Amino acid sequence: MKNLDPRAAWEQLQRTPDALFVDVRMEIESLYVGRPPGVVNIAWYEYPELTPQPDAFVAAVEREAGRKDRPVYLICRSGKRTVDAAKALDAAGFTDVTNITEGFEGELDEKFHRSTHSGWRFHSLPWEQM
């Protein structure tokens, strides 16, 4: 697993048109909070269980990727879920997995707000909201 901050990941994604960009957040998070353009939502876990299903996640990524050597970039809210998701993909034989550190919203600040000092949105990278 590689780790890239959001800006470096966006630059790499622009240079790697065949990359699979996966948002591992729950679908509702991706839809209502926002997401980068071109991302595919494959949740690491879903509501109401909130329990990761690594085998199901890996199988879904494999179906979407079509091959295990395809570059895969992972994003979540803060860059934590993607670490476990990337480890599962690595263990399953994926050879080019990148974790986007900071995630989409970044870490909480002292007032418990996100996107104020880190994350995809903080860096003013492209995103959309449903």
Ranges of the chain with pLDDT below 70: none
Residue 75 vs residues 23, 111, 115, 117: alpha-carbon distances, Å = 5, 24, 14, 17
Q: What's residue 85's pLDDT? A: 98
Q: Where does 2-100 sit in CATH, by number?
A: 3.40.250.10
Domain positions in the chain are 2-100
Contact 90, 1 (CB under 8 A): yes
**What radius of gyration, in Å, describes the C-alpha atoms of the chain?**
14
Nearest of 129, 46, 37, 44 to residue 78 by alpha carbon: 44
- pLDDT tens-digit map of 79-107: 999 999 999 999 999 999 999 999 999 98
pTM of the model: 0.95
